[in-house]
A and B are shown apart, each in its own frame.
Chain A
Amino acid sequence: MMQLRHLRTLLCAGVLAALAVPAHAQLTIDMTKPSFEPVPIAIVDFSGDAVGAQIAEVIRNDLQNSGLFRSIPSSAFIQRTVDSNAAPRFADWRGVGAQGLVVGQMTNVGGNIKVDFRLWDVVVGQQAAGLSFNSQPNNWRRLGHIISDAIYKRVTGEEGYFDTRVAYVSESGPLTSRVKRIAIMDQDGANNRYITDGRTLAVTPRFSPTLQEIVYMAYGEGPTPPKVYLQNVDSGQRQLLGNFPGMSFAPRFSPDGSRVAMSLSEGGRTSLYEMSVRGGGPRRLTTSTAIDTSPSYSNDGTQIVFNSDRGGTQQLYVMSSGGGGEKRISFGDGRYATPVWSPRGDYIAFTKIMPGSFGIGIMRPDGSGERVLANGYLVEGPTWAPNGRVLMYFEQQPNGAGRAGSVTLHSIDITGRFGRQVPTPTDASDPAWSPLIPQ
């Protein structure tokens, strides 16, 4: 642990030193501006061996997929080889329209790899960032994502989200006996693997905001009510969270990862409870006779947003995280569901159910400023990237006669400008974005 903390300090120092240099540089994006052009950026294959080129490819995909950058194709480059320890020929890079230039080298050092990169601000002709990393050879993809995050942060002023993972529900087989198992992959779709074996239905994975752990709901063998489980995604250790006679579901972590809010059903009523992940009894949060579900803590942990049909239709309510003071915040047309508080606290994302279509939207925590970002026959279940600027959700196409419509993951930024499908090996639903991986 000590070692980890030490390393983190060094990382911060490194980024700050790089940031401190060009206060007047042009290489910046304000992504909230109404008119917006992606920043043209040239990413040269890192020198060294073949892995250097692969690292550059990871960075290109990350930045291009964010919608904020346009990766200039290598075929256009005038300066074909760039010494990563010398200044580039800026005129050549201005000539191909680049505003940013990324160069790097990968070297093998006693069984480990060492990767250096520099981000050049081509417009003003200065270095904008520079970092060096040592790691094990099989970590090269992760190094690429960490470099993407450093570039994203330097250019946008926002934390990156590329060194993250996504847990989701992998779906296969006919709809009437669908296999649903929890899977996890890197944010860009690499390193896909399965967390549950698929023998019983497992859905709604949610990441701890602090650790590489998830909570999810899974059925048991036979007709027993489904329950909530806590599982470490790396070690596989799994723990039952509460053992209630009725169904428990819709779990979500508190911001410090110490508690989980969830729904419990009893006699047809569904109320909200809170459990400590360290054990101890459940704490009841709501007592209505209606359906209260999909709880999500505010980023500071003082409030919970949830959806309830206590007023007749499904709407969003905010209350104190200890329960009490419920206040309705959704007043638009249609029904509202699956509210998720942004890790930055400025927005609540939700699913909106309208006649004939579903939407994914955001609103401020007081319910004002509602914007629908994506529509479809059935779009559902937004999850926030750790920087609170990008959402992922899933979309189901209409079923044909006896044939299941595809179910796919999609991401979209909060301006609604950059939407894209996130590739998965199987049909996929219920995405859950991880926090940034601890370094």
Chain B
Amino acid sequence: MVALDSAIARYMIDPWPERQNARVVVSGSGGTKIGNREERGAKTTRKREMRTIKALAALAILALMAACSNNEAAIPASTTVTPGSIADFRQNVGDRVYFDTDMSSIRPDGRATLDKQAAWLKQYSNYQITIEGHCDERGTREYNFALGERRATAVRQYLVAQGLPADRIKTISYGKERPEVVGSDEGAWARNRRGVTTLQ
């Protein structure tokens, strides 16, 4: 016969989730800023800007939806659009440039597009500019955030070198999170490695 082990631990398991372990978070701890002092002063201006940006973003989304429903590629270049409008910029100037694999240097075809962008943006100086940087899917998510930022910065630097004021242009990276084309071939990857100039 085998003796049963009498040493059995008895204890209470706390309900899960365990609120006891919730760390007390000091609300409004704010975080720390690095970078220039203007950042703080510009806060209220920024808020106002944000409101405008939101309104413009809504318009942009509407425009985009219209463009999508028409199937972007099918829009003839000669469509009459108001000169100086975002649609004008997209259709008659071109809002994006493409990059080689894992590269962030502006290609000759991209330079031509950016030269046209710079001329147009100088003429219509009422827009704030955000450059989006994007990557194809064949990199890791985190590295691609950084690569997208590098691409957006390359576009920004090119436009600044053409005489656009640096404080008009912001950058944002979407890494590989927002492809232009769904596909896993060179054609799709080539179109997803891009810098897009967006206007607000």
**Which residues of A come within 8 Å of B, CB atoms?**
1, 4, 7, 10-11, 13-15, 17-18, 21, 85-87, 116, 118, 125-127, 130-136, 138-139, 142-143, 146, 174-178, 180, 201, 203-204, 211-213, 217, 221-226, 230, 232-235, 237-247, 249-250, 263-270, 275, 279-282, 291, 293-294, 307, 309, 314, 337-338, 351, 353, 377-378, 380-381, 396, 398-405, 429-430, 437-439
Contact = CB atoms under 8 A, between A and B. Distances in A.
Interface in B66-116: 104
B48 interface: no
A132 B130 contact: no
Interface of B: 1-2, 4-5, 7-23, 25-26, 29-36, 39, 50, 53-54, 57, 104, 130, 132, 137-143, 145-147, 149-150, 152-154, 157, 170, 172-173, 177-184, 188, 198, 200
A240 B138 CA distance: 30
Contact of A351 (B18, B140, B178): B140
Nearest to A14: B9
B16 A132 contact: no
B12 A7 contact: yes
Contact of B15 (A139, A291, A309): A139
A337 B8 contact: no
Contact of A139 (B2, B13, B36): B13
Contacts of B145: 217, 226, 247, 249-250, 263, 265, 293
Contact of B32 (A213, A280, A309): A280
Given A212-B18, A294-B140, 10 more contacts: A13-B9, A177-B178, A243-B31, A243-B32, A247-B149, A268-B149, A268-B153, A337-B139, A401-B183, A404-B182
A127 to B, nearest CB: 5
A139 B32 contact: no
A294 B143 contact: yes
A107 B9 CA distance: 16
Nearest to A142: B16
Nearest to A115: B13
Nearest to A178: B177
A401 B104 CA distance: 26
Nearest to B180: A176
B13 A439 contact: yes
14 contacts: A7-B13, A14-B11, A15-B9, A87-B2, A116-B8, A134-B13, A176-B181, A203-B177, A204-B141, A230-B25, A245-B34, A247-B173, A250-B145, A398-B184
Contacts of B20: 1, 4
A180 B177 CA distance: 9
B9 A138 contact: no
Contacts of A18: 5, 7
A89 B178 CA distance: 62
A135 B84 CA distance: 68
B67 to A, nearest CB: 13
A234 B19 contact: yes
B53 A282 contact: no
Contacts of B12: 7, 134-135
Contact of A337 (B9, B31, B140, B149): B140
B53 A204 contact: no
Contacts of A309: 143
Given A247-B149, A247-B172, A381-B141, A235 B8 contact: no
